[in-house]
Structure 1
């Protein structure tokens, strides 16, 4: 039975990641571009995912969200939506173009904003 539950969670997380990754791709295509001051699509995807995971954390802890839905939404959807690897690549591209200030600024802004949005999601769940 344990092996089946691992397989089911694998499929559920994969389905969530399919949708989250699709949303991230749409955001990147829509918002990223050479004319932007920084990769807005990646930043928005990570911020929205951080906000959502804060809300989902509280919903799971209070029993409003089942284990399977948590795997689908938090692990799958938010995992597919947010992207640390793309964020890291974008920071390194700035360093490669000798844009150290932009790299450090984007790095700090992203990390601080995502932590803030997790806390905001937790707070919003308390307010609802």
Structure 2
């Protein structure tokens, strides 16, 4: 029955990703894929906090399946990040592509560490 938890989380994460992407991109008129950047960084923050909560024993494996694998798995998107980066490079916006890669990896890691630190502070 664990797969139902993943499905339930994904059912929330996928439309949330779509709506957040649209909302962010509506506010930015640029080549940079802000919507994907934001959902990926937010997903990293949530996953970092969740992982920290699991490590502290505050959250169980079922919640990790629901929120980590399901919600964050559907909310974040490596394939769209890759596609948008490729599209930027192919269209001649190589600097935007490079910034997307570097900023996405750096901000994603920073958000995951921040989420873990937050969990440690709360449940440490």
Q: Same fold (TM over 0.5)?
A: yes
1:58 corresponds to which of 47, 52, 56: 52
Q: Over aligned residue pairs, what C-alpha RMSD do you find?
A: 1.3
1:26 corresponds to 2:4: no
Partner residue, 1:102: 96
Aligned length: 121
Deviation for aligned residue 1:123: 0.9
CA contact (8 A) 1:20 1:76 kept: yes
Cα pair 2:20 2:39 within 8 Å, conserved:
yes
Gaps of 5+ in 2: none
**Partner of residue 113 from structure 1, selected from 98, 107, 119:** 107
Please tell me whether residue 89 in structure 1 is matched to residue 52 in structure 2. no
Take 1:24 and 1:84, find their aligned partners in 2: how far apart are those partners?
Answer: 12
Distance in 1 (alpha carbons) for counterparts of 2:31 and 2:112 = 24
- Give the aligned partner of residue 63 of structure 2: 69
Q: Secondary structure at the match of 1:32?
A: helix
Q: For 1:21 and 1:104, how far apart are their aligned partners in 2? A: 26
- Deviation of 1:92 after TM superposition, in Å, equals 0.5
1:37 deviates by 4.6
- Which residue does 2:118 correspond to in 1? 124
TM-score (norm 1): 0.89
Cα deviation, 1:19-76, whole Å, max 9, x if unaligned, reads: 0111110111111257135111111100110001111001111221111111000000
